[in-house]
Amino acid sequence: MLEYYAGPRRVHCHRGVFPKPNPSFMSKPICYSTKAYSTASAASPLGAAVIERRLPTSTDVQIQILYCGVCHSDLHFARDEWHFTQYPAVPGHEIVGKVTAVGGGVTKFKVGDTVGVGCLVDSCRTCPDCRAGLEQFCAGMVMTYGSIDKHLNAPTLGGYAQSIVVTEDFVLRMPANLNLAAAAPLLCAGITTYSPMRRWKVGPGQKVGIVGLGGLGHMGVKFAKAFGAHVVLFTTSPGKVADAKRLGAHEVVVSKDEAQMTAQANSFDFILDAVSATHDINSYLNLLKRDGNLVLVGAPEKPLPVAAFPLIFRRRSFSGSLIGGLPETQEMLDFCGKHNITSDIEIIRMDQINDAYERMLKSDVKYRFVIDMASLA
Ligand code: NAP
Ligand code: ZN
Ligand code: ZN
């Protein structure tokens, strides 16, 4: 199925050759080609391409990708909304699949294992953040897409592909009891909402708000409920109220309704904001109790203006959080296995991805698209 070749390390994609040939690697048989979906510019749709991956080194695991979740970050990145995308770009960082090969030095995985890969594929391994298991804050972290692959000296390419090669320390074990497609979004949406709630000790007796019922938000509702908090979901979409309750919210507030917002003032211990677009953050700061904390995980393209008064009155905090490190991601997966937590998903074919992005922009996802990678064959 996978084609190995010993030729120049180049990607022949639908819009040209990438990266430029590097003479030092020209004769090395270190790559193989795999089918993928890539985009050539911020304004282009995604389309079929053939990319190259490194052959597994001694510590690498090669994975046949079975499913890949569609994160709003994929869309921000594909359209260069964060201003660091290099093209051609291949998004995708909610990857689950089967191990098809392992390097000679791999000890944790064997061929046939069911595994996951999230937003990180490597880091420096030696800095204080790495030693603390917080690889997401390492200055040398390598993201699944949008970083530089140390082996190939070329941009990393994500999971909208048939296969990927990842060093074993950044590969996660998937709980056997979970539906694999529905577990894929745990690799980003799951850990991004689990981690800040663990960090700030969300639990019984607390009133917790989740803002935005999308991929992250619906996982936030499930985790906050599982941790024993009183959960209030804020949505701009009145049509999502019933779903939010089914997913575990005790109360649902339609945020466009000023009276509903005012009724919640000064009452929250913790609010997780998972909104992908510009919105009024101050209206949520005003809902925190004294010493309450609003954690932003959404990453809109444009800055969010924060007013002084909602913060200084009542000594409130405004924080951020980025995915999670490898140990905590495995802990989250194991927690989900134990409590049978997965995402609510809509499975799509790879060629439906451009339409899926448009629907995501309209908040029309229930509540995560997951690509069936067999559709790329
Ligand atoms: P998503 O599925 O598209 O959900 C975003 C939700 O935000 C929508 O469902 C909608 O919920 C709400 N929303 C959208 N536009 C809005 C607007 N103009 N005003 C108010 N609410 C709006 O996106 P996602 O995959 O969950 O990602 C959410 C954000 O988190 C993205 O910016 C993504 O890049 C970021 N992210 C951050 C991290 C991290 O580590 N910090 C990790 C992953 C993703 P309602 O319909 O309920 O209002
Ligand atoms: Zn993501
Ligand atoms: Zn490090």
Instruction: Kindly report the protein residue whose alpha carbon is nearest to atom 4 of ligand 1.
Output: 214
Instruction: Kindly report the protein residue whose alpha carbon is nearest to atom 16 of ligand 1.
Output: 277
Q: Per-residue pLDDT for the chain (377 aa), expressed as one digit of tens each?
A: 343 333 333 443 344 444 444 444 444 448 999 999 999 999 999 999 999 999 999 999 999 999 999 999 999 999 999 999 999 999 999 999 999 999 999 999 999 999 999 999 999 999 999 999 999 999 999 999 999 999 999 999 999 999 999 999 999 999 999 999 999 999 999 999 999 999 999 999 999 999 999 999 999 999 999 999 999 999 999 999 999 999 999 999 999 999 999 999 999 999 999 999 999 999 999 999 999 999 999 999 999 999 999 999 999 999 999 999 999 999 999 999 999 999 999 999 999 999 999 999 999 999 999 999 999 98
98 - beta bridge partners? Answer: 64, 114
208 - beta bridge partners? Answer: 231, 270
Give the residue, out of 82, 363, 368, 370, with the most ligand 1 atoms within 8 A of its beta carbon, to mutate for a pocket test: 363
- CA–centroid distance, residue 167 to ligand 3 (Å): 15
Q: What is the pLDDT of residue 154?
A: 94
Q: Is the dihedral of CA 124, 65, 156, 220 positive or negative?
A: negative
Atom of ligand 1 nearest to the CA of 360: 3
Q: What is the pLDDT of residue 95?
A: 99
Nearest ligand atom owner, CA of 158 = 2
Q: What is the pLDDT of residue 303?
A: 95
CA distance 162 to 166: 14
CA distance 329 to 185: 12
Q: What is the pLDDT of residue 16?
A: 41
Q: What is the pLDDT of residue 92?
A: 98
* Tokens read off for 72: 């709003």
Query: pTM of the full predicted structure?
Result: 0.94
- CA–centroid distance, residue 363 to ligand 1 (Å): 8
Instruction: Kindly report the protein residue whose alpha carbon is nearest to atom 9 of ligand 1.
Output: 214
Nearest ligand atom owner, CA of 196 = 1
CA distance 225 to 219: 10
CA 37-351-36 angle, 5° bins = 20
- CA–centroid distance, residue 266 to ligand 2 (Å): 31
CA distance 325 to 330: 9
CB atoms within 10 A of CB 366: 15
The SS3 call for residue 320 is strand
CA distance 369 to 352: 10
- CA–centroid distance, residue 132 to ligand 3 (Å): 9
Q: Among residues 234, 224, 204, 210, which one has the least CA distance to residue 341? A: 224
The SS3 call for residue 165 is strand
Nearest ligand atom owner, CA of 118 = 2
Q: What is the pLDDT of residue 10?
A: 40
DSSP character string of 195-263: HHHHHTT--TT-EEEEE--SHHHHHHHHHHHHTT-EEEEEES-GGGHHHHHHHT-SEEEETT-HHHHHT
The SS3 call for residue 278 is coil
- CA–centroid distance, residue 161 to ligand 1 (Å): 24
C-alpha distance from residue 166 to each of 156, 184, 205, 303, 346 (Å)? 11, 16, 41, 34, 27
Query: Which residues approach ligand 1 with their CB closer than 6 A?
Result: 71-73, 76, 188-189, 192, 212-217, 235-237, 240, 274-277, 279, 297-300, 321-323, 360, 363, 365
Angle between helix 215-226 and helix 189-199 axes, rounded to 10 deg? 40
Atom of ligand 1 nearest to the CA of 297: 41
Instruction: Kindly report the protein residue whose alpha carbon is nearest to atom 11 of ligand 1.
Output: 212
The SS3 call for residue 112 is coil
Give the residue, out of 216, 260, 279, 322, with the most ligand 1 atoms within 8 A of its beta carbon, to mutate for a pocket test: 216
Given a contact cutoff of 8 angstroms between Cβ atoms, the answer to whether 326 and 120 are in contact is: yes
Residue 367: cis peptide before it, omega within 30 degrees of 0: yes
- CA–centroid distance, residue 124 to ligand 3 (Å): 4
Instruction: Kindly report the protein residue whose alpha carbon is nearest to atom 36 of ligand 1.
Output: 298
Atom of ligand 1 nearest to the CA of 240: 47
The residue with tokens 């056997």 is: 176
